[in-house]
């Protein structure tokens, strides 16, 4: 025993360490969960007492009024990102999963995606302002905002698509090939179909990121109190995060309420997207359980 004690700490000391480790992990968890609840409740408590449903049906007047234009604008931006970034991202993801990094294009695309995924969004916004809004004379516009937002979330969509495709069991591809399907047909009917939940989940999370962005939009989407017009160029478009950012430190209470209301709508929007993504994952995992 004496020899053991030289190598290992005494039992008592180890027990104290084990308990403090356990307590430490629980404190760490509390330090994450506590602020997360405080954050969501903080937004709810500030917004709900003054909440009026006509916020959703009235136009903004800047520091007062409703948020109809901003809600619709954010939805238009998200839809645009879903189309633009969704198609580019999913196609890139398919390319990466099917061809891998073996081709030169694949290696380049992977490098670019890795770098773009960590690129500061405000720098993307700055480039959008300088090159698209001013340089190409697009003005504050839907298209400029969409291009910059898409540049930001394409890496994530491509990565999640790639990993969803890679999780499709090899036996599916082999089975399709054994049945004599051409590889394009097999990709469409067999591989993509079983990877679809993963792709959609990635897309939803990317959209919730796009809907919550501020920095890349401030100098590309501009600001307006009008409804979105679907004109691609020369028309600024409203979005929710703008009103959170501009109205929280205005002098009037009414402006504060606009800010809090916008924050509440954003939280609800993000929650809805994440819950949907979660449900899709849970559903497919239940189906996949048997095959594991």
Partner 1 sequence: MASWIPVAGLAFVLIVLAVKAWPAVVVNGFGFIKGSQWLPGNTYGSVVHTHGVAHPSGSSYGAWPLIAGTLETSLIAVVIALPISLGTAFALTERMPGWLSRPLGFLVEILAGLPSVVIGLWGVLEVGPFLAHHVYPLVADHVPNVGPFRYFKGPVGYGEGLLTSGLILGLMIVPIIASTTRDLFLQVPALPKEGAEALGLTDAEVARRVTIPWVRSGIIGATVLGLGRALGETMAVAMISGSVLGKVSPTIYGTMTTIAATIVSQLDSAATDGTGFAIATLAEAGLILAAIALAVNLCARYIVSRSGRLAAPVGRG
What residues numbered 45-64 form the site for partner 1, per CB under 8 A? 46
Token readout for 222 is 């501009």
Rule CB under 8 A: which of 169-188 touch partner 1? none
Our finding on whether 116 is near partner 1 (CB under 8 A) is yes
Our finding on whether 283 is near partner 1 (CB under 8 A) is no
Our finding on whether 109 is near partner 1 (CB under 8 A) is yes
- Asked whether 85 and 99 are in contact (CB, 8 A), the reply is no
Rule CB under 8 A: which of 222-281 touch partner 1? 241, 244-245, 248, 259-260, 263, 266-267, 270-271, 273-274, 278
Query: b or e along 163-189 (b: 16 or more beta carbons within 10 Å of the residue's beta carbon)?
Result: bbbeebeeeebeebeeeebeeeebbee
User: Least distance (Å) from partner 1 to the CB of residue 239?
Assistant: 11
Rule CB under 8 A: which of 132-151 touch partner 1? 135, 151
Query: b or e along 207-233 (b: 16 or more beta carbons within 10 Å of the residue's beta carbon)?
Result: bbbbbbbbbbbbbbbbbbbeebeeeee
Our finding on whether 154 is near partner 1 (CB under 8 A) is yes
Nearest to partner 1 of 43, 176 (CB atom): 43
Number of residues assigned to the chain:
292
Our finding on whether 38 is near partner 1 (CB under 8 A) is yes
Token readout for 285 is 């995992």
- Asked whether 281 and 87 are in contact (CB, 8 A), the reply is no
Identify which range of 48-56, 61-69, 171-179, 214-222 contacts partner 1 by CB under 8 A.
Answer: 214-222
């Amino acid at each position: 025993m004496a020899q053991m004690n030289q190598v290992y700490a005494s039992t008592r000391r180890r027990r104290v360490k084990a308990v403090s480790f356990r307590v430490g992990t629980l404190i760490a968890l509390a330090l994450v969960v506590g602020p997360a609840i405080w954050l969501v409740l903080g937004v709810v408590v500030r917004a709900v007492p003054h909440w009026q449903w006509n916020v959703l049906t009235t136009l903004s007047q800047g520091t007062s009024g409703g948020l109809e234009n901003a809600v619709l604008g954010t939805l238009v931006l998200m839809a645009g990102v879903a189309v633009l970034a969704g198609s580019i991202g999913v196609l890139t993801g398919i390319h990466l999963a099917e061809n891998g990094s073996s081709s030169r294009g694949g290696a380049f695309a992977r490098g670019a995606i890795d770098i773009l995924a960590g690129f500061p969004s405000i720098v993307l916004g700055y480039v959008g302002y300088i090159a698209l809004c001013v340089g190409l004379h697009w003005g504050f516009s839907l298209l400029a905002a969409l291009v910059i937002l898409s540049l930001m979330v394409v890496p994530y969509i491509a990565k999640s698509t790639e990993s969803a495709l890679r999780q499709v069991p090899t036996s599916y591809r082999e089975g399709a090939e054994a049945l004599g399907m051409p590889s394009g047909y097999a990709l469409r009917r067999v591989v993509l179909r079983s990877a679809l939940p993963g792709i959609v989940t990635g897309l939803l999370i990317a959209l919730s990121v796009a809907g919550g962005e501020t920095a890349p939009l401030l100098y590309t989407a501009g600001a307006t109190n009008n409804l979105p017009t679907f004109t691609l160029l020369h028309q600024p478009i409203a979005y929710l995060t703008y009103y959170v950012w501009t109205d929280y430190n205005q002098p009037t209470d009414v402006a504060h309420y606009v800010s809090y209301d916008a924050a509440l709508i954003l939280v609800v929007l993000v929650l809805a997207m994440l819950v949907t993504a979660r449900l899709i994952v849970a559903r497919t995992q239940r189906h996949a359980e048997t095959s594991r």
